[in-house]
Chains A and B, each alone.
Chain A
Amino acid sequence: MKSRWLIPALIAVAIALPWCFYDWGHHRHAGFLLSMLSQMGMMVILALSYNMLLGQAGLFSLCHATFFGIGGYATVHLLNAVGAGDLPVPMELMPLLAGLSGLALAILFGAMATKQRATAFAMITLGISELMATAALMFHHFFGGEGGVTTNRMIENSLFGLTYASGLQVYYLILAWTVLATGLMYYLTLTPLGRMANATRDNFERAQFIGYDPRMVRFLQFALSGFFAGIGGGLYAITYEIVTFDALAAPLSANALLMAYIGGTTVFGGPILGAILITLLQSGVSLLSNSWLVYVGVMFIAMVIFAPTGLAGIIKAHGPIRHSGRLGSLVVPYLRLVIPSLGLLLGFVGIVELMSFLTIGAAQGRKLVLFGGPVDVHAALPWVISCGSLILGALWLRIEAAGFHRIWENLTAEVRR
């Protein structure tokens, strides 16, 4: 199997990446890249732990960020205690304590929420999320109000004698914990509980008649996912050295959902892809365009309609074809899809940017720069080009997609034989 070296290779890439962007002129690491990679690390944990609920147990939770946030707050307070000399805990074990705090809260809320399933469960978690977010703004002792709680991660208590002054050390700490947490979560899918979570997702009634209490399965799965979310929150606190109510508010829960779904809930590694992609969009594309939310929304809806198995699901579908060595025969059909897709994309991005520039950005005294050149939003030409490319692209893509679908069906049928 090729996948045997895939995981070590991925970890190696993650270790090497900061050095690829080393700034030789100033002899320092690219801080933005490190931050983004660190962010990806914690988001990978968040998305994977969310998928323990959505993908593996079929639970649609809307309060996942609550446990992420509580892990963050706990870590900040613990770091402050260590910094003040009240608590001898090395930095490397902080995320574990954060995870335990997430676990504790998830046990408490899980006892309430997991009594129900499906929509009732979702609504209870919505309520929990609202309650916690408001409480975080209201009660200052623990949550610090809007300003949040700050800390200093240089607590001079490390197993390896590290100071964690530089972003690189923090990134490697995050990487280590991400790998560890991912490994543990993968391990969980191979245990009786993990398997019964899948089983109750598919058919909770059948699970009852083979001796399992679906509620208990849901509860344990919920509590454990809270544990991992807490670890993610702990890493958040260590990276940013400040935790505010944003770390447990609804938008982050929504993000967890987006990441897990876009990445693919049916494959264990799917949410990893989703977390990386969404973080890139959020931190990367948002520098280029303020309309990034539209792109996320459209991408999300497109995934729901056309690829409900997510990115990882699409990749997985290629598995049998690859095994039979026929992947090559898909290259041309894919290439034929690329051109109309690009047209569609170009037209869509063009229209969104033109529109948002007209109403929002116009008077900022900036020039709209699209695809490398300045564009005059009041001229007709860019609009015509965008609309034309959107419509033509869409029509052409329809034709090509039908053709591709035929080829795909034939190929999978052949492979199956």
Chain B
Amino acid sequence: MTSSIRRLCFAFVALSMLVAGRPAGAEDTIKIGYVDPFSGPFASGGDEFLKVFGYILQKVNADGGALGKKFELVPFDDKLQPAEALIALKNITDQNIPFVMQCTGSNVGAALVDGVSKHNARNPDNRVLYLNCGALATELTNEQCDFWQFRFTGNVEMRAVARIKALPMDVKKVYLLNQDYLFGQSIQHDTRKWLAKLRPDIEVVGDELMPFGKVQDFSSYVAKIKASGAQSVVTGNYNRDLNLLIKAAVDDGLNVRFDTYLAHLIGGPTAIGSAGEHRLTSITEFHPNVPVELKKPDAEAYSNGWRANHDTDFSEVPFLTMLQMLARAIDTAGSTDALKVALALEDMKATDLVGSPVQMRKVDHQLLMPYYAASFTKDVKYDAEKTGFGWKTDFIASTDDLTLPTVCKMKRPAS
């Protein structure tokens, strides 16, 4: 028994050295801890984002970084589990990294908002800032808002408003179909709320939640949609739950619009393919044809720089905006101290890649930004994921359109 224990202790110490005892040394870069899933079933998103950040950092660092230093990403695998994300957070604070960034999953997001807030309260000498680039739950900048979180992506409610404003006037009957978990439920809730406010002429002929990731055969949903006489299916489904739905609809010859929120997510266009032509729309933060439509050759060139080396599309403009704003805030603050940077970020105004104005609202730390409602068609300059089909903007929900009230009552730090 003892020999094994000894062996185990050795292994333990060796591993701990590897992971915890990295040399502190002189910091010549500004590190950002990046927490996302890189293994397990949700790794595709994390992997793609990591590539995108690599591309974005080239630009941000070429533009001078911040305080004359370059940014460096330190990735941590959270396996899309809050507990793992919190362990990663500990690792990040151990290494005195002042920023933690996370772009997938509201469950992890909620854990980080809470975890960062508690950490900062308990360790005032080692504070961190949580840069939220993909936890979409509306609550995170409303009921659960926190001073230490800055969200650089539109929340569900903003997307809902964009979604409804983009619905054509001739659509009078819609069917809501969403996944039965937090995200799907808040989409359902916000869509109904804003439908009533903005388009009282639209009748909701069906409103349904379906089990998340469990449905194998969507044809009965299609039959139900058909029976309801809906003109459009408004859905927050993504990945498999969306692809199978659209496939089943096309197979059955159901001729309705699919007004989705997330069809443009990576892998979506590939999986849907021609099935989505003329019926699929999505609410995007950016897509490769936006610069063409807005006639911004710089932005187009930047987007093309990504296309040259990848099969996927560059649509993560808010990531770029986030890092640019962060760099500016650090320069303004003159240090990477979390509190100083946070104060500098508040109410910061900026322009994004295509020159649209964005603003980090002080009351709830939600970035106010535009959204592009786009439809899936052949008739575009740049196709999506080499499918031959691409996104074409139908409607731009401007920053002003999406400046929505918040119920956030933020506790601000004393100093």
Interface residues of A (CB under 8 A from B): 2-3, 6, 10, 13, 21, 23, 25-26, 28, 30-36, 39, 134, 137-138, 145-148, 150, 152, 165-167, 236, 240-242, 244-247, 251, 273, 276-277, 280, 282-288, 290-293, 311, 315, 318, 327, 360-361, 363-366
Binding site secondary structure of chain B: helix
The answer to the question of B47 belonging to the interface, with a C-beta cut-off of 8 Å to chain A, is yes
Q: Is the CB of A315 within 8 A of B19?
A: no
Q: Is the CB of A293 within 8 A of B83?
A: no
Q: Is the CB of A284 within 8 A of B19?
A: yes
Q: Can you identify 24 A-B contacts, CB atoms within 8 angstroms?
A: A6-B5, A21-B21, A23-B94, A31-B90, A32-B87, A36-B16, A39-B83, A39-B87, A134-B214, A138-B180, A146-B106, A146-B137, A150-B114, A152-B118, A236-B83, A244-B110, A251-B40, A280-B15, A285-B15, A286-B79, A287-B91, A290-B39, A363-B310, A366-B54
The answer to the question of B207 belonging to the interface, with a C-beta cut-off of 8 Å to chain A, is no
Rounded to whole angstroms, the CA-CA distance of A242 and B86 in the bound complex is 10
Contact A137 B309, CB 8 Å, known A21-B16, A293-B39: no
Query: Of residues 99 to 153 in B, which have CB atoms within 8 Å of A's CB atoms?
Result: 105-107, 109-111, 114-115, 118, 122-123, 125-126, 137, 139
The answer to the question of B38 belonging to the interface, with a C-beta cut-off of 8 Å to chain A, is yes
Classify chain B: how many residues form its interface, as a range. Answer: 35 or more
Quick one: closest A residue to B43, CB to CB?
Answer: A290
Contact A315 B1, CB 8 Å, known A145-B185, A286-B39: yes
Q: Report the stretch among B6-14, B220-228, B278-286, B323-331 that lies at the interface.
A: B6-14
Report chain A residues within 8 Å CB of B76: 287
Report chain A residues within 8 Å CB of B105: 146
Query: Of residues 33 to 60 in B, which have CB atoms within 8 Å of A's CB atoms?
Result: 38-40, 43, 47, 50-51, 54-55, 58
A148 in complex: contacting residue of B38, B87, B107, B118, CB < 8 Å? B107
Closest beta carbon of chain A to B112's beta carbon, Å? 9
Report chain A residues within 8 Å CB of B54: 363-366
Quick one: closest B residue to A36, CB to CB?
Answer: B87
Report chain B residues within 8 Å CB of A364: 47, 50-51, 54
Which of B38, B87, B110 counts the most chain A CB atoms within 10 A?
A: B87
Which of B2, B39, B50 counts the most chain A CB atoms within 10 A?
A: B39
Report chain B residues within 8 Å CB of A286: 38-39, 77, 79
Rounded to whole angstroms, the CA-CA distance of A3 and B212 in the bound complex is 50
B16 in complex: contacting residue of A33, A285, A292, CB < 8 Å? A33
Contact A32 B309, CB 8 Å, known A26-B126, A146-B106: no
Interface residues of B (CB under 8 A from A): 1-5, 8-9, 11-12, 15-16, 18-21, 24, 38-40, 43, 47, 50-51, 54-55, 58, 76-77, 79-84, 86-87, 90-91, 93-94, 96, 105-107, 109-111, 114-115, 118, 122-123, 125-126, 137, 139, 180-183, 185, 211-212, 214, 309-310
Rounded to whole angstroms, the CA-CA distance of A356 and B342 in the bound complex is 38
Contact A276 B181, CB 8 Å, known A6-B1, A283-B84: no
Rounded to whole angstroms, the CA-CA distance of A281 and B86 in the bound complex is 17
B87 in complex: contacting residue of A23, A35, A288, CB < 8 Å? A35
Contact A244 B107, CB 8 Å, known A33-B20, A280-B11: yes
Report chain A residues within 8 Å CB of B109: 147
Q: Is the CB of A280 within 8 A of B87?
A: no
Closest beta carbon of chain B to A205's beta carbon, Å? 35
B114 in complex: contacting residue of A34, A35, A241, CB < 8 Å? A241
Rounded to whole angstroms, the CA-CA distance of A21 and B16 in the bound complex is 9
Q: Is the CB of B96 within 8 A of A26?
A: yes
Closest beta carbon of chain A to B323's beta carbon, Å? 15
Closest beta carbon of chain B to A374's beta carbon, Å? 16
Quick one: closest A residue to B24, CB to CB?
Answer: A25
Quick one: closest A residue to B76, CB to CB?
Answer: A287
Q: Is the CB of A291 within 8 A of B39?
A: yes
Report chain A residues within 8 Å CB of B111: 148, 150, 240, 242, 244
